[in-house]
Structure 1
Amino acid sequence: LTKVDGGNLVQPLDHGNVQNGRLFFLQQQTHLITMKASVKRSTKNKIDTMMNGYSGSSDEEAASDSPKTVVHTVWNQSIPINQMSLPKLTRLRQLLSLRHIQDSTFAKYNVRATANGDGLIFPRYTDRVERVGVRQLKPSGLKIFRLTENRNQPGIIEETIPDSSTYVGFFGYHLVKSVDVETVLLFNEADALSVHQAAGKVALAVHDQYGPFQNQLLSLLTELIHVIIWPPPEKYNRGKLLAKSLTSTNCHLISPASCKNMRAADALALPGKGRQLITGVIKACERVEEKSLSTFDKLKELTKEYYYGYGSVSGICKWSRFSALNNYLKGFRLGELTLIGGGSACGKKTFLAEYALDICCQNVPTLWCCLELPVGRLTATLVEQDAFFEENTNQRSFDYWYEEISRLPMYFAKFDKVGFTKLKDIVEVIDRLAASKEVQHIVIDDVTALQEWTLAKNGYDLNLIFSDLRRLAQNRNCHITGSMLLSKFQNSKENNNADTLQQNAVNMQAMKEADNVLVICTKKLAQDITDVEHENFLQIWKTRRGGDLVLSNYIEMNFNRMTKCYTLTVGDRALPEGTWRLCILPLVLVAVISIVLNQLYVPLPDRFAEREKMQVIETVARVLYMYPGKWLELFSTKWQLCWTRLVLNSLAWLCSYAYRSTEPQNVHIHTIMLDDVAARVYIPDKVDTDAAIVYIHGGGFVLLNVDSYDLITRHLAKLTNMITVSIEYRLAPEHKFPAAIDDCERAIVYFLRHAHKLYSINSDKVVLVGDSAGGNLAAVVTQRLRNKRIRPVLKLQVLIYPVVQFVDFMTPSYQMAYRLYGRTALPDPESIVRWMLVYLGLDVEHVPKVLRSDHVDPIRQLQLLQAVQHDQLPPEFLDPSYYKKPPPKLNNTESSEAMHQVQSYLLDWQVSPLLQQDMSDLPKALVLTCEFDPLRDEGYFYVHRLRQAGVNASWIHYNTGFHAMLNIHNEVPLGRQAIQDVATFIRHNLS
């Protein structure tokens, strides 16, 4: 192949280094186009040299031969996959595991065919549609799968442009949006398409032949909110390496066990189970964290145990015979070392035997290490203590009691050589016993009989013995109890001899390493206690995690020589006569307060956001307006409404005032009239856009006003730096349906046509936001403006937990509200139906029938319930613990006659915008729903209807959120996050 220009012959190309590639020269532009990326480096260098020598402009020619130019040329010459021959496309689907992928999924990911129709092209992107737009979006890399020409053994040739060593982005990255909560990352294009089709989540594919992950790749991943990595089972280590490379705390990994050693494409191919299996695998992902590092989220339960004293302090059991110890040691805990000491012949081992028997009787497996005490003598003592603990039982035979005690999980290890038993020997016994039985309590009858103790030369050696015992208890998750010679510290000069100094050293080492130290003292040694009437008493020198020490006070030990049992009594002095009368009043007050709190306490669900704080707020709200409102309802609904308005408006004003007095005010407020409808305008100091927000407040059509929502609209204006207008529409029952809709429509139309000029606002960039009942008004007004073809049109609509239907009040979210928080001050089904009836001007006596959905005529039931089919909801919304599918309604003449006045509103889309027949040509929408909200399901239904009509609708669901959480976002961080999500959505769609 040569190039002749101006009579000069250029050096021929050496085409021997071109493998299965085609080279073309354009006469005018003089640059090389490669249809395949398999050109060797030597050939490329020759071509560059030739072209530079010919044109004299090396930079321009090198730019024309860049990988970016090659990618765009191949992409521009590609064709849609529906123009391929059907046999080739079918064969490619089979070989690439794409048989179950729909054409619509291919279209979303821009999968195209090669120019000659023998392969599929999978583009990779480094930018998103929401940033650059569809027209400006171009792939940065391509992956091509071609069919081989061998008919006997058909196969696939895989090609990458640029080559696999160059960063080319992600397959599917252009679909990522800022509001996407979860993004699944896979190592294969077929798996990414399968996950997106089955679970509806954004799925990306990265080239599995990359070397160390590049910084540009990691920077794109760190922008995602929640990354889930699903590697093929054979490349699980590759997925772990990618997960560790990410610094995000929201990176999760799917293990081969979770996905049952299946790829996503294989799971989708399972008949009837593919979608459910893929969704379950994604939910079973595990967070990737360093084993040596922990976060506050991971340590919450463990911290709660220490903070409240649960479990770790109370231990696995408490003492039954020696209940007095429970007040000081708090419980029997694993992983601790307890030493029971005392002088010679003070009863240490007898007390130790009953101490261990008390624990073993509560099903704690116990191992006795008899280093000094004969095993027969020990078991005889245990039988006596067990037999004579209860009165009138000593007449039974020895065989009976021996058989009774033999049923306890107690084992004995005998060591013959006293003073020559090593701690290692005890560990070996524990290991042999652990093979068949678990040991939780190890009792050493004499710690000083260990060989390590005999060979100890100084205090350091003694410290090693106690530290080894404590380490053994922690590593084996057991409790070690031992007895030894311990006595009071001797500080007098006459006792300052070698034995006394050695005993003080032993005491110090025991106090340092042991978790609990109990010392049996005799009356002879109790020089600082002169009123002791008993021969022995117990002192608690140390308790690491328990309660108070017992040093100045004492615990009396009554020993019965016949039964060999101890009785512990806390030594105390009698109260002065008549003191008990002073306790009556506090006891009565405590009893009254306990009864009141018990009646007021209604537990919120476990997953409720800020549950402890909301428990208090909800109780206060119930006392302030709910209970008085119920009482006033007996007289008149009007009185109940007046009281509720007064309390809620006052609380909202106080919250707003407190916020404005502590936070800097960067928002200016104006009050204007929009076609005789009052409105409040919030103007931030730093307005950086010509867009605006129109906000319609909630309140069940009868409550709250612009002042009540001042906190939300002010915060939204600051987050978006956009002018925000809050509409003061008329409330029911003074102004019934459709007065509120008319007010909102007139105000919005006037603002779009005239008032926007006052603030230099672009009328094509107006966003409508509605909250709760305001969400209903926003949806209805949007549909009205579409029907009337009013220009200019709204840019976006944001509906925050909206009420959009008056048909079905037996949805799963309503049934959950009945069961979990029906008696609370949160918006409940009864209050929602009551205020809806007031809004429509109907009698509130129909509330019970509407709650049972008896207001729906059985003849119209099928027609009305088409938009609220429960089977369309996500599976997690259909929890059988609270949801029961309602039976079909039978024809009930009495109910139909009683609810005749309701029938006229059932088919009215201005009451139930969900029933609008035509949802097309509506503005782009964002719908927010909360888990603990009766309106959760109808918000999802509305998103589903919008998407069916072709409207771009986004949905954000808060798994721990609740209705009206935005109104108290200063106390609930999730409410602030929801406002932030709304602001982010608006800014991104108006940028």
Structure 2
Amino acid sequence: MVSLLITLRLLCGDFILDVIASVMDPRLIGRFRVGLDLEAPDTVSGQALAVAAMSVAIFLAVVAFLLVFVSALHIPLPSHICDREKVQFFEFLIRITNEYLGDLVEYVIGPKYRVFISRFVVGFPYHFKKKSPKWLNVEEKEIDGVKCRLYLPQGSAKKSQCCIVFIHGGGWCLMEPHYYDGPLYNLISKTGATVVSIDYELSPQVTFPSPVLECERVVKAIYEKEHSVLGVDPTKIVIIGDSAGGNLTAVTCQRLLRAGLGHYVAGQVLVYPVTNVTDFQSPSYQYYHRAYKGAGLLNPKIFARMVLLYLGIDASKKNVRLVMKNKHIPSDVRASKEYRAVTDHHLLPQSFRTKDLYETPKTPTPDPVLSAAFAPHVTNPDLNPLFGKDLTGLAPAMIVTAGIDILRDEGILYSKLLESYDVPVKWYHYESAFHGIMNMPKSKQRGVIIQDIAAYLKPVL
């Protein structure tokens, strides 16, 4: 019995005993502190046992409270998700700091300022930068007035004249180029290509279409003049982007095509891209609500807030809720044949629309104020590339979608749109992957995706 109490004493520390000592005889506490008198008599007084029993009771109560607290905050993730242990840890940490703390910050000083909390939380792990490989020079440079991060393979590591222009994700509000050092080092080692990562300005400091124009300027500058400085072939420019970066990639390619400059881009890779911010009731959104609602992965509330900030529309809780209910789309747009032709859920695989996962959404009544604010943007392909027209001649595309991602369906629908214009497109779907996997360190699934991207780019290299 005494050995058990001593063990619990070592686990609990002096704190609990000090608390008890304040209400009982302090002299009794001494025999249970570190440095216990091992020559103590074999018998233990009733008072000493009472103190020890109270310590154990308090210790167990604290443990029980922590278990209840953690259980209450636990949100189960889909059983087939990859990198489960790491995802559970990071998801919980991000949810506590970014969502719960962010809600408090938003309540006190407004939604724009919670972005800075999100940036701190997301960026904290990247403050501990690792050195770049010896075969790679990494430097910062402005290209046509836009900050960029250059990855320049040296010597035999430069196996290609291809230039990869990388556009990072983060909902137009978060992330920085160096957060992608890990996956880009991997991609460069497999391709030998030079990489230019665009450090476009973020919302809410700037709004749409500022990032679009920055990305377009960089691509034009590389093709027209910077290629000689970088030592790359201007006919081998490939644009890669993930999430909001995938949106900017698709938009940039479409803008160049409309300007008669489609030949500036040899290929595009869209990794779980944003292609349509008008439908928050698609099967992939419904799957979120059924399978992992409230998780710290990209969720409808986070994304709706980012869309509003990007467009410079008040990101109030009310507006976020309205967007999540699709009440930001004008009735005439929703009823149009052009809209329905590219957003029809029946274009998606039947397996995504089974009765246990999906219900046909009801047509919402638009909010007059919010839908009026969205009206100029809804079918603008510079925001929603899913509404692009006359896309024949667009750069060949690889589109990556993840099974555990609210953006899954719009990536698939975009591949259908490109196919309708005879654009060469390859769709790669990773059912166990999740949104943000490109930033998951030492992920086997991420490694597979990067390997597939490198293989897809081989003809261009």
Distance 2:284 2:45 in 1: 61
- CA-to-aligned-CA distance 1:596-620 (integer Å, 9 cap, x gap): 2112211111111122332122112
Residue 751 and residue 591 in structure 1: after superposition, are their counterparts in 2 closer, same or farther (change >3 A)?
same
Counterpart of 1:604? 77
- Note if contact 1:698-1:771 (Cα within 8 Å) is conserved in structure 2: yes
Distance 2:98 2:126 in 1: 13
Residue 628 and residue 744 in structure 1: after superposition, are their counterparts in 2 closer, same or farther (change >3 A)?
same
- Note if contact 2:167-2:242 (Cα within 8 Å) is conserved in structure 1: yes
- CA-to-aligned-CA distance 1:204-246 (integer Å, 9 cap, x gap): xxxxxxxxxxxxxxxxxxxxxxxxxxxxxxxxxxxxxxxxxxx
Residue 575 and residue 859 in structure 1: after superposition, are their counterparts in 2 closer, same or farther (change >3 A)?
farther
Counterpart of 1:979? 450
Residue 779 and residue 758 in structure 1: after superposition, are their counterparts in 2 closer, same or farther (change >3 A)?
same
Alignment of 1:498-647 (within 5 A): 577=46, 578=49, 579-635=52-108, 636-647=110-121
Residue 950 and residue 847 in structure 1: after superposition, are their counterparts in 2 closer, same or farther (change >3 A)?
same
Match of 1:671 among 132, 137, 140: 140
Alignment of 1:286-301 (within 5 A): none
Counterpart of 1:848? 321
Counterpart of 1:544? none
Alignment of 1:426-445 (within 5 A): none
Residue 985 and residue 583 in structure 1: after superposition, are their counterparts in 2 closer, same or farther (change >3 A)?
same
Distance 1:904 1:926 in 2: 29
Alignment of 1:149-164 (within 5 A): none
Distance 1:593 1:889 in 2: 42
TM-score (norm 2): 0.85
Q: How many residues align?
A: 408
Counterpart of 1:990? 460
Counterpart of 2:352? 877
Counterpart of 1:859? 332
- CA-to-aligned-CA distance 1:477-503 (integer Å, 9 cap, x gap): xxxxxxxxxxxxxxxxxxxxxxxxxxx
Alignment of 1:885-964 (within 5 A): 885-889=360-364, 895-964=367-436
- Note if contact 1:666-1:718 (Cα within 8 Å) is conserved in structure 2: no
Give, as a single letter, the amino acid of the residue that structure 2 aligns with 1:637: P
Match of 2:238 among 754, 758, 767: 767
Distance 2:297 2:167 in 1: 21
- CA-to-aligned-CA distance 1:388-407 (integer Å, 9 cap, x gap): xxxxxxxxxxxxxxxxxxxx
SS of residue in 2 equivalent to 1:985: helix
Distance 1:797 1:869 in 2: 25
Alignment pair present for 1:687 and 2:154: no
Match of 1:868 among 343, 368, 373: 343
- Note if contact 1:867-1:915 (Cα within 8 Å) is conserved in structure 2: yes
Alignment of 1:189-228 (within 5 A): none
Distance 1:632 1:898 in 2: 24
Distance 1:586 1:725 in 2: 55
- CA-to-aligned-CA distance 1:523-578 (integer Å, 9 cap, x gap): xxxxxxxxxxxxxxxxxxxxxxxxxxxxxxxxxxxxxxxxxxxxxxxxxxx99742
Deviation at 1:801, TM superposition (A): 0.3
Match of 1:713 among 177, 184, 190: 184
Distance 2:372 2:394 in 1: 33
SS of residue in 1 equivalent to 2:332: coil
Distance 2:309 2:116 in 1: 13
Deviation at 1:585, TM superposition (A): 2.3
Alignment of 1:384-395 (within 5 A): none
Give, as a single letter, the amino acid of the residue that structure 1 aligns with 2:121: V
SS of residue in 2 equivalent to 1:835: helix
Which structure is higher in helix share? 2
SS of residue in 2 equivalent to 1:871: helix
Residue 825 and residue 665 in structure 1: after superposition, are their counterparts in 2 closer, same or farther (change >3 A)?
farther
Give, as a single letter, the amino acid of the residue that structure 1 aligns with 2:428: I
Match of 1:967 among 439, 443, 461: 439
Residue 664 and residue 786 in structure 1: after superposition, are their counterparts in 2 closer, same or farther (change >3 A)?
closer
TM-score (norm 1): 0.40
Deviation at 1:888, TM superposition (A): 3.1
Distance 1:928 1:580 in 2: 59
Deviation at 1:727, TM superposition (A): 0.7
| Sequence identity percentage | 29
Unaligned runs of 5+ in 2: 1-42
SS of residue in 2 equivalent to 1:745: helix
Q: Which runs of 4+ in 1 moved over 6 A?
A: none
Deviation at 1:773, TM superposition (A): 0.2
Distance 2:390 2:330 in 1: 23
- Note if contact 1:667-1:718 (Cα within 8 Å) is conserved in structure 2: no
Deviation at 1:851, TM superposition (A): 1.0
Residue 946 and residue 791 in structure 1: after superposition, are their counterparts in 2 closer, same or farther (change >3 A)?
closer
Unaligned runs of 5+ in 1: 1-573
Alignment pair present for 1:794 and 2:265: yes
Counterpart of 2:31? none
Distance 2:285 2:313 in 1: 22
Deviation at 1:880, TM superposition (A): 2.2
Alignment of 1:459-474 (within 5 A): none
Alignment of 1:416-435 (within 5 A): none
- CA-to-aligned-CA distance 1:95-133 (integer Å, 9 cap, x gap): xxxxxxxxxxxxxxxxxxxxxxxxxxxxxxxxxxxxxxx
Residue 825 and residue 791 in structure 1: after superposition, are their counterparts in 2 closer, same or farther (change >3 A)?
closer
- Note if contact 2:262-2:394 (Cα within 8 Å) is conserved in structure 1: no
Distance 1:652 1:981 in 2: 26
- Note if contact 2:377-2:383 (Cα within 8 Å) is conserved in structure 1: yes
Residue 952 and residue 969 in structure 1: after superposition, are their counterparts in 2 closer, same or farther (change >3 A)?
farther
- CA-to-aligned-CA distance 1:881-907 (integer Å, 9 cap, x gap): 2311112345x6xx2344311111112
Distance 2:440 2:388 in 1: 33
Residue 590 and residue 980 in structure 1: after superposition, are their counterparts in 2 closer, same or farther (change >3 A)?
same
Give, as a single letter, the amino acid of the residue that structure 1 aligns with 2:460: L
Deviation at 1:584, TM superposition (A): 1.6
Greater alpha carbon shift after TM alignment, 579-588 vs 936-945: 579-588
- Note if contact 1:776-1:802 (Cα within 8 Å) is conserved in structure 2: yes
- Note if contact 2:283-2:353 (Cα within 8 Å) is conserved in structure 1: yes
Give, as a single letter, the amino acid of the residue that structure 2 aligns with 1:669: V
- Note if contact 1:770-1:802 (Cα within 8 Å) is conserved in structure 2: yes
Deviation at 1:876, TM superposition (A): 1.3
Distance 1:791 1:614 in 2: 39
Provide the aligned C-alpha RMSD in A: 1.8
Indicate the structure (1 or 2) with the bigger Cα radius of gyration. 1
- Note if contact 2:262-2:393 (Cα within 8 Å) is conserved in structure 1: no
- Note if contact 1:816-1:882 (Cα within 8 Å) is conserved in structure 2: yes
Counterpart of 1:514? none
Residue 583 and residue 642 in structure 1: after superposition, are their counterparts in 2 closer, same or farther (change >3 A)?
same
Deviation at 1:665, TM superposition (A): 3.8
Match of 1:651 among 125, 132, 136: 125
Distance 1:664 1:705 in 2: 20
Distance 2:414 2:262 in 1: 24
SS of residue in 1 equivalent to 2:376: helix
Give, as a single letter, the amino acid of the residue that structure 2 aligns with 1:931: G
Alignment pair present for 1:750 and 2:224: no
Distance 1:898 1:978 in 2: 38
SS of residue in 2 equivalent to 1:770: strand
